[in-house]
Structure 1
Amino acid sequence: MAAFLAGPVTTIAFCWRLARRDGVTIGFTTHDRDLVIAGLAYRAAPGMLPSAVRLTDGLDADSMDVSGALAADAITGDDLMAGRWDGAAVRLFVIDWTAPDGDQLLLARGELGAVSIEGEAFTAELKGPAAILDRPVSEATSPECRARFGDARCRVDLAPRTRVTEIVAVVDDRTVDVASAATPPNAYGYGRLRWITGENSGLSNPLLRSAGNRLTLRDAPPFAVAPGTRIEIVEGCDRSFTACRDRFANTDNFRGEPHLPGNDLLTRYPGAS
């Protein structure tokens, strides 16, 4: 237990540390002035307030809600809705504000979950480490590959299938033309586009299909796109056994059961077409 909790005078301040997946890190405190802790400035405004914190020593998932004010130079509603804060790592701890670099008492840590916005404030769910216990522990069979394209199970090298280029024309809110792209038909179908410059910088969009240098996104990006925007595009895979065999010659790492009979086997009978 932190020694400062035994003092006769209350000098406790709550502190929040939020680290986005793109490396942007900010801090907030409930103290009435800014604090600097381990080189990071924890701002007093806009503050963040925790609801009741529920921590357990069992196997139940820990969770809590956090609320805070939206500020143009800190957390904006547009960034929240665009998903920039999805999965951000969060630490909630208390310190003695008279010695901010001293002992810390960790109260909770985890990732930001569901976010809701009301007016100029937001509320977010904090998923603790035990929330991983809610995930399935075994995979279900499927005719399609369950590996993520290019991961340790798939083993397809994405380096030669990744290209940095720029947008030369915007056809509509989901279709763009790029300066250069891979030549195979629909090479970027089910692939990924990452925005390097522009208002969408740091965000990614799944690709639906491609035809030459024309790319179609599955969803429109959160912010408007302009010609000249630099992007990174990665080829995709439809996770079928045929694509794994014919396009990538990677059947040894196929993580599916394409030849396993499905439920329709129960309805088959001799002579059925």
Structure 2
Amino acid sequence: MSALRIGRAAALAPAAAGTRAVHASRIACLVLAERQAPLRLGRVAVLLPALSTPCVTRHALVWTIRRRDGTAHAFTTHDRALSFQGLVARACDGFAPSASEARSDGSAGTMDLVGVLNDEIAEADLLSGALDDADIECWQVDWDDRGTTPRLLQKGRIGQVEHSAAGFRLEVRTLAALLNQPVGEVYTAQCRWTLGDARCGVAVTVRSGTVTAVDGLGAFRDDGLSDPDGTFDHGRLSWTTGANAGLAGAVKRWTLADHRLVLHQPAARAVAPGDTFDVAFGCPRTADACANRFANLLNFGGFPHVPGHDALQQRPPAR
């Protein structure tokens, strides 16, 4: 359509009784119609009522994220904020999805959301696990809000969360992925309980400590702790002061000789002398530790005498 014809259509639109002013995005619909047949003055009145129908140029995507702690976030691909389901969907150029995968056989599909850190999703949220297992939905909406019904495109939960200095990546697992999770309990040689829970019955001991020296990546010393080797192995360490205050991690190894604590993963931020923490006793989930360290063998939740894969693969001796 020529510029003159577009101008004529836009000029005639307000004059039509019972119709709204033609938005720039709706001119695209007139352009498509003009490709099929020339736009004549007599056809304008016929085309204008169709402007109230949905058009792909008014579609935008909205993602809603509802965390386990009740906090909700919303983002949109539109160039301005939108109101959706009681939330303000923030226009965020640095928030984009990967290709969405859906399978006809009902198996689990996946999608990734990649974004940059901002005041909505900060680094502390990623490090503390606040987004783990959060409910996420992807909707197709009409950003012009002309009464069309939003369309739910995908629904699931956030799985793996990765982050770097540049941004983050959220793995979206569809509801079908829940069907792949084990239901019930399995026979294992190690204890199935968590130290300190109702089925374990052991009162967890927690020590408070202070970093006296940083000893490499993910390791530091505390000269005030005097418990035997391995006491804190597999235990949980929570930072109470310093740059990592409020964050937690798992202890890999504790040695008394050098008063050294090694974490499974380095702390998210730099550890400095003077930082304080709480560290809980750990449990290797073995029958020996349950009996000798905690005197709790009656509540042991493992099956150490059940034959494993090695026993099943053994062959009788050759004759």
- TM-score when scaled to structure 2? 0.62
Q: 1:219 to 1:22 in 2, by over 3 A?
A: farther
Where 2:211 maps in the other structure, the secondary structure is strand
Number of paired residues?
Answer: 258
Of 118, 129, 153 in structure 2, the residue corresponding to residue 107 of structure 1 is 153
Of 74, 81, 95 in structure 2, the residue corresponding to residue 48 of structure 1 is 95
Of 50, 53, 62 in structure 2, the residue corresponding to residue 15 of structure 1 is 62
Matches within 5 A, 1:65-144: 65-68=112-115, 70-75=116-121, 84=129, 87-89=132-134, 90-95=136-141, 97=143, 105-114=151-160, 123-137=169-183, 141-144=187-190
Aligned-pair distance for 1:225? 0.8
Partners in 1 of 2:120 and 2:84 — Cα distance? 18
Of 32, 38, 53 in structure 1, the residue corresponding to residue 79 of structure 2 is 32
Q: Which residue of 2 aligns with 1:224?
A: 270
**Structure 1: segments with no counterpart, 5+ residues:** 1-6
Where 1:252 maps in the other structure, the secondary structure is helix
Partners in 2 of 1:237 and 1:111 — Cα distance? 31
CA-based RMSD: 4.2
Amino acid in structure 2 at the alignment position of 1:257: F
Q: In the alignment, does 2:145 pair up with 1:63? A: no
Instruction: Give deviations 1:128-179, integer Å, cap 9, x for gaps.
Output: 2321222344655432223333345434343xx2345443432332322348
- TM-score when scaled to structure 1? 0.70
Q: 1:22 to 1:54 in 2, by over 3 A?
A: same
Q: Which residue of 2 aligns with 1:260?
A: 306
Q: Which residue of 2 aligns with 1:3?
A: none
Q: More strand by proportion, 1 or 2?
A: 1
Of 188, 202, 207 in structure 1, the residue corresponding to residue 232 of structure 2 is 188
Equivalent pairs: percent with the same residue?
36
Q: Which residue of 2 aligns with 1:156?
A: 202
Aligned-pair distance for 1:264? 4.9
Aligned-pair distance for 1:239? 0.7
Which of 1 and 2 has greater Rg? Answer: 2
Partners in 1 of 2:208 and 2:236 — Cα distance? 12
Amino acid in structure 2 at the alignment position of 1:192: R
| 1:30–1:47 contact (8 Å) kept in structure 2 | no
Partners in 1 of 2:221 and 2:62 — Cα distance? 46
Q: 1:163 to 1:137 in 2, by over 3 A?
A: same
**Which structure has the higher relative contact order (CA within 8 Å, separation 6+)?**
1
Amino acid in structure 2 at the alignment position of 1:87: D
**Structure 2: segments with no counterpart, 5+ residues:** 1-51
| 2:253–2:261 contact (8 Å) kept in structure 1 | yes
| 2:69–2:130 contact (8 Å) kept in structure 1 | no
Partners in 1 of 2:131 and 2:296 — Cα distance? 33
Q: More helix by proportion, 1 or 2?
A: 2
Amino acid in structure 2 at the alignment position of 1:142: T
Partners in 2 of 1:202 and 1:14 — Cα distance? 34
Aligned-pair distance for 1:246? 2.3
